[in-house]
Amino acid sequence: MRSITKIQLFVLTILLSAIGVSAQDARLRFDNLTALEKNASEIVEVNVDGKLLQLAKRVLLKIKDEDAKKVGKAIEGLEGVYVRSFNFDNEIEYNMADVDAVRNQLNAPGWGKLAQVRSKKKNQKIDVYMMFAGEDISGLAVILSDKKQVALINVIGPIDIDTLVELSGKMNIPEISITKDGDPDQPDGN
């Protein structure tokens, strides 16, 4: 009887671990970036989650500015925003393998590459990935590396693309040109 209890406890532990892991699938591990930190002349680290993110949502939703309210609505379901940026005084003062270690995390199930830009002249790589939960976006990752800079961005939680498109070109949000069938602004051929 005692061995059954141990087996049940073991199975329960594995199941609970799996639940915790699935909630964190979109979270990239930025914990092994010490080599980048060591050589960088400037480091930016942003961690917005938990209570701070809830506070930002509440404030944005209460501001009288309609665009600010829309931003509050767009980030309503977000669980976290994490940014790491490293600037270097000299060209290629870091090992690309350190950046590729983060990039390799995006080969996990659920992640899909949205865009990839490569510039041999500037020695620049930009990768944009999205994680989907069914039809909904549950995470976003951007990795940028060039001769003197590495930037890693990870957004966790549902992202409302329709609201982002509506806000594009406002509040320093880059303009996004996406049209859907049946949009009133889209010519219908009549």
**Range with the lowest mean pLDDT among 27-36, 109-118, 156-165?**
156-165
Q: CB of 150 within 8 A of CB of 21?
A: no
- CB neighbour burial string for 151-171, b if at least 16 within 10 angstroms, e if fewer: bbbbbbbbbbeebbbbbeeee
User: Residue 141 pLDDT more than 90?
Assistant: yes
Whole-number pLDDT of residue 100: 92
Q: What is the pLDDT of residues 114-123, one digit of tens each?
A: 999 998 888 8
Mean pLDDT of 43-53: 89
Q: Please compute the mean of the pLDDT values over residues 100-122 and round it to a whole number.
A: 91
**pLDDT of 48 above 50:** yes
Both tokens assigned to 108: 């996990």
**φ and ψ of 158, to 5 deg:** -65, 135
pTM of the model: 0.72
Q: Output the pLDDT for position 134.
A: 83
Q: Give residue 171's pLDDT.
A: 56
Q: Count other Cβ atoms within 10 Å, centred on residue 12.
A: 10
Give pLDDT, residue 3: 40
pLDDT, residue 172, reads 55
Q: What is the pLDDT of residue 175?
A: 63
pLDDT at 177: 52
Write the CB contacts of 125 (distance below 8 Å, at least 6 apart in sequence).
116, 117, 118, 119, 143, 144, 145, 146
The residue ranking higher by pLDDT, 186 or 45, is 45
Report CA Rg, the chain: 21
Residue written as tokens 């061995």?
Answer: 3
The answer to whether 160 touches 183, Cβ cutoff 8 Å, is: no
How far, in Å, CA of 138 to CA of 43, rounded? 27
Where do the domains of the chain lie? 26-167
Contact present, 142 and 174 (Cβ < 8 Å):
no
Reported as a single tens digit per residue, the pLDDT across 170-188 is 655 656 554 444 444 434 4
**What does the chain come to in residues?**
190
Instruction: Give the angle 12-18-24 at the CA atoms, nearest 5°.
Output: 145
